[in-house]
Structure 1
Amino acid sequence: MTSETTTQKRAIIVGAGIAGLATALRLEQDGWRTLIVERAPARRSSGYMVNLIGPGYDAAERLGILPALAPKALGIFTTVLVHADGSPKMTVPSALAEAALGPRVLTVFRGDLEAALHDRTGAEIRFGTTVSAMDQDPSSVRVQLSDGTVEHADLVVGADGVHSRTRSMLFGDDFRVDFPYVVGAFALSESDHNGATTFIGTGRTAAVVELGPARSSAFFTYRCADPAAELALGPAAALREAFADVPFAASLPVPDDVYFDRVSQVVAPRWSSGRVVLAGDAAWCVTLFAGHGATLALTGADTLGAALASGGDIPAALASWEDTLRPQVTRRQRAARRGMAQYAPPTRLHLWLSEMTMRAVTLPLVRDLVRRAIARQ
């Protein structure tokens, strides 16, 4: 059994996604031994695009993964806003994205980010494994795994996503807040264009980014009365039906590893109990509408490691970490709720106002004001 007086602390991390791998890597940098348990049978290799913005970029640098990510960077690209039939409506220049994202940004595929973290961490990873039971005392946590083994650790980190079982085990109730939207995203295996095409209609958005082989992806979201019914249809059928009048979107082949889920946030009253803590989407899912999920995952891991390294007992360090990070998470969740009206405008008026805003921001003077506002955040 472990204790804080041993020379090397041990952490068990539930979930081998961005938050779990980043947490393992950060703790290892301070001398922890780490074990990751992951429900999936193997690592996922694809996924949608993610942005490492500001603090997320800084965390990636401190974690030492920027050299591996640099060759995978997608860069900043021009977007063409189109009508449903694919005819151009307006062009959003790359300079606008630069102004919105700020100077320290890296855009990569989720799978490439996870690969960079995986290749750098020395954690033992047990795939096809879940936590069956967990209990703790003041000195350690006892974890029973689905493979029949029992492990002891100084710390357990639940980084098992928006549908976190660790969260349910820890607090008893599910603090997931569901919204009337679904979202789908996947990498494209083939691409014969260069640039981004986006359709925004009342209650829905379809976007295809084509930057060449292994550098292309699709993103969809739409408002619906019954997200569970959409999920039951399956991603291919649901997306074809929702975008039947948008040929460039409806004709895309949907791969087996598509991300397709309802839009939810996690609003938990606290993120830790004793020596067990939630991280990433398990603690604070902000949704894809926020655009800061990967950034918060890396920032959360980096600052969690710093809090644990600062001395004092583990429960106090976890509470201090949450006090520091929660205001940033709360801001991003609020921004995401506002962003729902941008990705899925509820009325034609909202759609028109959104387009007018985009046209205004393309003006050099307005773009400079946006850039200065971003720099002050």
Structure 2
Amino acid sequence: MKRTVIVGAGIAGLATALRLARDGWQPIVVERAPARRSGGYLVNLLGRGYDAAERLDLVPALAERALGLFTTVLVRADGRPKLTVPSVVAEAALGPRAMTVFRGDLEGVLYDAVRDRVEIRFGITVDAVDQDADRVAITLSDGTTEEADLLVGADGVHSATRTTLFGAGHRVDLPYVVAAFPLARPPEGVPASSATTFIGPGRTAALVNLGPGRSSAFATYRCADPDRELARGPVPALRAAFADLAGGVPEALRDLEADPAVAYFDRVSQVKVPQWSVGRAVLLGDAAWCVSLFAGHGAALALAGADRLGAALTRHGDDIRSALTQWEAGLRAEVTKRQALARRGMYQYAPPSGLHVWLNEVAIRAVTLPGIRGLVRRGIERQNR
């Protein structure tokens, strides 16, 4: 039985463990965090990501946690409505083979699928990697060494595995930070099954009301020094960036102040590595190709990447290096395309000027028209092929 050590118990790592375990491998997952994390922002699974979730038999469990469609209301800084985008627009744009879930729920479904068949060690990091033509030896922080046929670095945008294999300098930090956190109660002033979204020059703040236990907040903004923002912490940084907003935002920040640890708060980055594998070690997910929040599709690419890696390893049998080469060749063009789309996302989430805000609203109004809606859907379908 082939053995693999997978670094990272996020979406990419757990999906890889699930696929390889089903293919007869013996995976060991090691995770830096002391326990499984939860929460996070909303992710859309569509196109190849939905296909991969289906092949991994995740769709039934995900359907129980799916958030469904909701109306989005664009608001002014004082909370007054500006433009309503009904849920039917999202339905038409995403198509029938799509699902929206919290990132933490996707990780939870994956964890439930692998925890009884895969060894998962929390609070463990990789200290050293040594490999030859026949095996890779991974020295772990608990003093043990695991010999395996394959090492998978799926430890996210800040991947230590990437640094070990390829050195530093492959993360490209963009001048933005992003925050997402659950709300203790549905946000004030936001109707049920709705989201209110403020988009202004250089920033976006959104509140989603999907009922108790399913409501959340999301924010991103442009800044000159992301490191300084992160050092301030989520509550002071978000208060300063969105101090002028009403419409439930102050109440959401007061909720966060009670437990700042629930927030996902980080810089926005991309990862660009000339190659994703060396010998019997490979990077996968954000560790290899983070496309950034602005490009979207991060969760979908992680699932698809894990599923395709399993397929390539099955096709090539013992020739792991050829499998990794073919796998990367089949996926890199899609990743490159998604990374390029991040610029469009920057203009949507953090428009550089009031003019760009107005142009975005004109485009959104157009999408609500039935004829244009169909064109948008066909365009998205082409992107996801």
TM-score normalized with structure 1 length: 0.96
State percent identity of aligned pairs: 67
Instruction: Name the CA distance, whole Å, in 2 between partners of 1:277 and 1:184.
Output: 29
2:165 aligns with one of 170, 174, 177: 170
Instruction: Name the CA distance, whole Å, in 1 between partners of 2:56 and 2:181.
Output: 26
- Find out whether 1:361 has 2:332 as its counterpart: no
Instruction: Name the CA distance, whole Å, in 2 between partners of 1:292 and 1:88.
Output: 29
Instruction: Name the CA distance, whole Å, in 2 between partners of 1:224 and 1:173.
Output: 24
Residue in 1 that maps onto 2:200:
201
Instruction: Name the CA distance, whole Å, in 1 between partners of 2:128 and 2:200.
Output: 46
Pairwise mapping of residues 204-353 of structure 1 onto structure 2 (< 5 A)? 204-247=203-246, 248-252=248-252, 253-254=255-256, 255-312=260-317, 313-353=319-359
Residue in 2 that maps onto 1:3:
none
- Find out whether 1:183 has 2:178 as its counterpart: yes
Contact 1:23/1:302 (8 A) holds in 2: yes
Contact 2:313/2:320 (8 A) holds in 1: yes
Mark the runs of 5 or more structure 1 residues left unpaired by the alignment: 1-7
Pairwise mapping of residues 23-38 of structure 1 onto structure 2 (< 5 A)? 23-38=16-31
Q: How many residues align?
A: 370
Residue in 1 that maps onto 2:145:
150
Contact 2:47/2:381 (8 A) holds in 1: no
Instruction: Name the CA distance, whole Å, in 2 between partners of 1:282 and 1:224.
Output: 24
1:140 aligns with one of 124, 127, 135: 135
Deviation at 1:136? 0.1
- Find out whether 1:161 has 2:167 as its counterpart: no
SS where residue 80 of structure 1 aligns? strand
Deviations 1:22-62 (A, max 9, x none): 00000011000000000000001222111111111111111
Residue in 2 that maps onto 1:56:
49
Contact 2:203/2:219 (8 A) holds in 1: yes
**Residue 199 of structure 1 aligns to which amino acid in structure 2?**
F
Instruction: Name the CA distance, whole Å, in 2 between partners of 1:208 and 1:361.
Output: 22
SS where residue 215 of structure 1 aligns? coil
SS where residue 310 of structure 1 aligns? helix
SS where residue 290 of structure 1 aligns? coil
Deviations 1:331-356 (A, max 9, x none): 11111122101100001111111010
**Residue 59 of structure 2 aligns to which amino acid in structure 1?**
L
Deviation at 1:115? 1.0
Deviations 1:113-162 (A, max 9, x none): 11111111121011000000111000000000000101100000000000
Deviation at 1:102? 2.7
Deviations 1:297-338 (A, max 9, x none): 000000000000002510111011000001111111111122
RMSD, aligned CA:
1.1
Deviation at 1:103? 2.4
SS where residue 151 of structure 1 aligns? strand
Contact 1:54/1:102 (8 A) holds in 2: no
SS where residue 224 of structure 2 aligns? coil
Residue in 1 that maps onto 2:85:
92
Contact 1:59/1:298 (8 A) holds in 2: yes
Contact 2:93/2:374 (8 A) holds in 1: no
Residue in 2 that maps onto 1:14:
7
**Residue 272 of structure 1 aligns to which amino acid in structure 2?**
S
**Residue 180 of structure 1 aligns to which amino acid in structure 2?**
P
TM-score normalized with structure 2 length: 0.94
Instruction: Name the CA distance, whole Å, in 2 between partners of 1:375 and 1:316.
Output: 31
SS where residue 161 of structure 1 aligns? coil
**Residue 93 of structure 2 aligns to which amino acid in structure 1?**
A
Instruction: Name the CA distance, whole Å, in 2 between partners of 1:84 and 1:256.
Output: 27
Instruction: Name the CA distance, whole Å, in 2 between partners of 1:273 and 1:25.
Output: 23
Instruction: Name the CA distance, whole Å, in 2 between partners of 1:95 and 1:334.
Output: 28
Instruction: Name the CA distance, whole Å, in 2 between partners of 1:341 and 1:250.
Output: 25
Instruction: Name the CA distance, whole Å, in 2 between partners of 1:100 and 1:330.
Output: 23
**Range with bigger deviation, 299-308 or 365-374:** 365-374
Contact 1:81/1:198 (8 A) holds in 2: yes
SS where residue 49 of structure 2 aligns? helix
Contact 1:184/1:220 (8 A) holds in 2: yes
Deviation at 1:289? 1.4
Instruction: Name the CA distance, whole Å, in 1 between partners of 2:68 and 2:342.
Output: 23
1:370 aligns with one of 354, 372, 376: 376
Residue in 1 that maps onto 2:75:
82
Distance 1:301 1:153, change over 3 A: same
Deviation at 1:173? 2.4
SS where residue 213 of structure 2 aligns? coil
Instruction: Name the CA distance, whole Å, in 2 between partners of 1:328 and 1:102.
Output: 20
Instruction: Name the CA distance, whole Å, in 1 between partners of 2:352 and 2:176.
Output: 11
Deviation at 1:94? 1.1
**Residue 145 of structure 2 aligns to which amino acid in structure 1?**
V
